[in-house]
Structure 1
Amino acid sequence: MSKKALVGKRVAITGGTHGIGREAALAFLAEGADIAIGDLDPGRVRAVATQLNRIHGGTVFGLALDVTDSGRFAEFLAAADRKLGGLDVVVNAADVSPTEAFLAETERESDHQIDVNLRAVITGSRLAGARFVAQGHGHIVNIGSAAGVATALGAAVYCATKHAVIGLGTALHRGLAEQGVTVSTVAPGYVTDPEAVADAIVDCVERGRGGLVGVPPVSRFRSALLPHPDSLRRILGTT
C-alpha cells in the first residue's frame, strides 16, 4: 500500500455530492486528508458523506451549503473549520451546465450559471483567501474549463463564466502567493473525466502547484467502457 501523501490536510469541497466534487472527495480521502463536503440538499450531503466514510473509513462530514448565498457559504466554511479543527484547502467545485442554446436560454437560466459558476467561486475564493491569509497558509482550487480558454458552441454563458474563473484564478495566483496562499485553476477538457480532474486537483495540493492546470479530455469510447484505474482503487480503498 502506498504512503498517503495528505494525512493531516483539512479540505472543504463545494458541490461534493456528485461529479468532480464527489470524485475530489474520494481522491483526497484516499490520500489521507480529512474532508467536509457541502451541497444544497442536507439529506443528500449527509448520505454521501456516510457513503464516502464507508469506502475509506476516513474523516468526512456532510454539511448543507448554498453557494449562491454568501452568508451561508461563510457558515459552511466556519462549520468545516470547527468539524475538522482547521482548514488547509478549499475546492470550489460546484458547477451547473447549460440546458439550452444561448438564444433559447432564459434570463433565469443564464443568471443561475453566473451565480453558481462564477459568483460563488468569487465568494468562495474571497472567504477562503481571507481565512488563509490570516493563518499564513492555504490552498484554493477553482474549476475552470477548456470552454473558458476556447469556446463551446451553444454554451456562450457557460463559456463566459469559465473564462472569468480562469481570469480570476490568474489574478489571485499572482496576488496571493506572497501572502502564503496558493491558487490553482483546474481546467478539464470538453469531454470531462471526473476522476482525472480529481487527480489533478489532488496533485496541485500535493505539489503546492498554483496557476492554470489543464486536464486532457477523455475519449468518449474509453469513458463509456473503461473505468478509470485510480477511481477503482479509491472506491475499493486499495491505494
Structure 2
Amino acid sequence: MTSSVAGKVVAITGGARGIGLAIATALHSSGAKVAIGDVDEAGAKSAGDRLGLPLARKLDVTDRPSFTEFLDTVEDQLGPLDVVVNNAGLISVGSAVEEDDEATRRLFDVNVHGVILGTKLAAQRMLPRRRGHVINIGSLGSVLPTEGIATYCATKHAVLGYTDAVRMENRGSGVHFTVIMPTLTNTDMVAGVGHAKGFKNAEPEDVARAVVEVIGKPEPRVAIPRSLGATVWAQRLMPMGLAEALGRALGTGRVFTSDLKREQHDVYTRRTGLS
C-alpha cells in the first residue's frame, strides 16, 4: 500500500484538522509529498509543522485566485500534481426552513462550489498529462437524506452527482475521479450529535485509510464503512415509506434533532461563523 502512494504529489483542502489532517498524516507517513491548504492559515501552518509537511498555507476554496495560487505553489515546489483531495466542508444543523440564508449560501459555496472549482483546476492540469486522481469527500448524506441537516445533504448529493458526471465525461482519459462517502465521523463537525441504533461513528483515520487505498486501486465510489454503504444502498431500493419508517425505528431522524446536544455543537458553529 505504501508503494502505491510513495512519491506522489498530493494537495488536500481543509487539511488543518479532522478528516483532512488525518488524510495528510496517513499519506505523509506512506511517503507521499503532501501539501495542505485551509482557510485557517494558523491552523494549517501548525498542522504542517507538526507533521513536517513540505507545504501548508492559507486556502479559500471558494476563491479561484486563491485556489489557483495554492495549486501553482504545490506544483512549483513539489512537482506535477498526482492527487487532489477536495475535503474542505461545512455543516449546518437545525430546521431547514429556519436556517439563516447566509449559512445556506456558505455551505453551497464551500461544499459545492469549492469542490467544483477544485475538480476543474485539478483536472485542467491532469488531463493533458493523462494521469491523476481527484478525490472528493462526500458523505453517506450524499445518498441518505437526514433530518436536521437538509442543506448539508443537498450539498453532498451535489458532490456525488457532479463527481460521477465528470468521471463519465472523462472516461478513458487516464484521470480518475472518486467520491468518498463516510458515515458520521468523530470530528468537531459532529460534536454533540446523537447516535442511531446499531450505527457506530467512523474515525478520521478510517477515512484516511480509504483514501490511501483508493489512490492505489481507484474506484468511483467508496462508502465508509463499506458494510454500512451496502445497507444504505439496500434501503434506497425499498419503497420510500418503508425506508423512512426504518430510519425512524433506528433513530436516524433524531441524531441531528431531538438527540442533539446544542451547547456542545455550538463550539463548532462559533468557530466556523455559522452561529
Residue 254 of structure 2: aligned partner: none
Give the Cα separation in 2 of the matches to 1:146 and 1:21: 17
**1:19 alignment partner AA:** G
Whether the aligned pair in 2 keeps the contact of 1:93 and 1:143 (CA below 8 Å) is: yes
1:206 and 2:216 correspond: yes
Alignment partner of 1:113: what SS?
Answer: helix
Give the Cα separation in 2 of the matches to 1:112 and 1:5: 36
Residue 167 of structure 1: how far off its partner (Å): 0.6
Residue 136 of structure 1: aligned partner: 130
Give the Cα separation in 2 of the matches to 1:3 and 1:70: 33
Residue 49 of structure 2: aligned partner: 50
Give the Cα separation in 1 of the matches to 2:40 and 2:167: 32
Whether the aligned pair in 2 keeps the contact of 1:152 and 1:159 (CA below 8 Å) is: yes
Whether the aligned pair in 1 keeps the contact of 2:180 and 2:222 (CA below 8 Å) is: yes
**1:43 alignment partner AA:** A
Residue 176 of structure 1: aligned partner: 170
Give the Cα separation in 1 of the matches to 2:137 and 2:58: 20
Give the Cα separation in 2 of the matches to 1:111 and 1:178: 35
Residue 68 of structure 1: aligned partner: 62
Give the Cα separation in 1 of the matches to 2:27 and 2:122: 18
Extract structure 1 runs of 4+ deviating beyond 4 A. Answer: none
Whether the aligned pair in 1 keeps the contact of 2:62 and 2:109 (CA below 8 Å) is: yes
Give the Cα separation in 2 of the matches to 1:198 and 1:22: 9
Residue 176 of structure 1: how far off its partner (Å): 1.8
Give the Cα separation in 2 of the matches to 1:94 and 1:177: 26
Whether the aligned pair in 2 keeps the contact of 1:37 and 1:60 (CA below 8 Å) is: no
Residue 56 of structure 1: aligned partner: none
Give the Cα separation in 1 of the matches to 2:48 and 2:72: 18
- In structure 1, list runs of 5 or more residues that go unmatched: 54-58, 218-239
Aligned partner (choices 86, 89, 97) of residue 103 of structure 1: 97
Residue 18 of structure 2: aligned partner: 19
Give the Cα separation in 1 of the matches to 2:207 and 2:2: 21
- What pairs up with 1:72-151 in 2 under 5 angstroms? 72-151=66-145
Whether the aligned pair in 2 keeps the contact of 1:38 and 1:64 (CA below 8 Å) is: yes
Whether the aligned pair in 1 keeps the contact of 2:19 and 2:208 (CA below 8 Å) is: yes
Whether the aligned pair in 2 keeps the contact of 1:169 and 1:184 (CA below 8 Å) is: yes
Whether the aligned pair in 1 keeps the contact of 2:89 and 2:111 (CA below 8 Å) is: yes
- Please give the TM-score of this superposition, normalised by the length of structure 2: 0.73
User: Which of structures 1 and 2 has the bigger CA Rg?
Assistant: 2
**1:41 alignment partner AA:** D
Alignment partner of 1:81: what SS?
Answer: helix
